[in-house]
Chain A
């Protein structure tokens, strides 16, 4: 079956530090890959996505590249801000025989200190 593995957290950084959150996946076929962010007390918001190999998704300074050869989709940001503090989820969406569904990783808690 499909699965997503994220680096264990939590991650604590100082403002303007470089961020990497690792994500690897197992899936049949060619899934689409997503990063979602969840702020305290809120639902999930899509941060970025990539739908085929070598695609790079980017948004708000965050980037992730779909690497089929290493089955990875690592999230990076060059300079984090306090406002980036949240939980980040890597997810894949594969078209099953009946509908499509998101499979999520466990999430990585990011705290950015001033």
Chain B
């Protein structure tokens, strides 16, 4: 069984640029959630995708957007990068969006640095 994978591992961008991060969900999972983890802090929920549609969003501006594909993989796009966007971006997959019991399985994350 393949776990959650993310690419790239590390990324360096400059302020104002755009970035796309990718995530492949665990086999059998149809729901993907994205989290932002700033240095020394807990992860913050960005949004969740289920059946290729956004299914819940945290307190992040519209320049954070995403996609989910028919194979349940997902992308996180961030436009007009700001210095404060520097963080570890974590993707998590789960089996069913509407249950609070479901474990979310996390990928290793993408470390984004904005200069």
Task: Report A's interface with B, CB cutoff 8 A.
Answer: 4, 31-32, 34, 36, 41-46, 49, 51, 89, 91, 93-96, 98-107
Residue of B nearest to A92 (CB): B100
| B contacts with A: majority SS | loop
Q: Using Cβ atoms and an 8 Å threshold, which residues of chain B touch A104?
A: 42-44
Q: Does B41 contact A (CB under 8 A)?
A: yes
Which of B44, B56, B103, B104 is in CB contact (< 8 Å) with A96?
B56
B13-21, B62-70, B72-80, B106-114: which one contacts chain A?
A: B106-114
The reply to whether A101 and B45 contact each other, CB–CB distance below 8 Å, is: yes
- Can you list 20 pairs linking A and B with CB atoms under 8 Å apart? A32-B101, A36-B106, A41-B108, A43-B90, A43-B107, A44-B43, A44-B106, A46-B104, A51-B101, A89-B42, A93-B101, A93-B102, A94-B100, A98-B55, A99-B50, A100-B99, A100-B100, A100-B102, A102-B45, A106-B41
Residue of B nearest to A2 (CB): B45
- In contact, A102 and B97 (Cβ under 8 angstroms): no
- Nearest residue, chain A, Cβ from B56: A99
Query: What is B's interface to A at a CB cutoff of 8 Å?
Result: 4, 31, 33, 35, 40-45, 48, 50, 55-56, 58, 90, 92, 97-109
Q: Taking the nearest CB of chain B, how far is it from the CB of A19, in angstroms?
A: 19
Residues on B with beta carbons closer than 8 Å to the beta carbon of A42: 108-109
- Given contacts A31-B100, A44-B90, A93-B100, whether A102 and B108 have CB atoms under 8 Å apart is no
Contacts of B35 in A (CB 8 A): 102
Contact, CB under 8 Å: A107 / B56: no
Contacts of B104 in A (CB 8 A): 46, 93, 102
In the assembled complex, the CB of A33 is this many whole angstroms from the nearest CB of chain B, namely 10
Task: Give the shortest distance, in Å, between B105 (CB) and chain A (any CB).
Answer: 8
A99-B50, A101-B56, A102-B35 known; A46-B103 Cβ under 8 A: yes
User: A43-B108, A49-B103, A89-B42 known; A100 and B90 CB under 8 Å?
Assistant: no
* A107–B37 alpha-carbon span in the complex (Å): 11
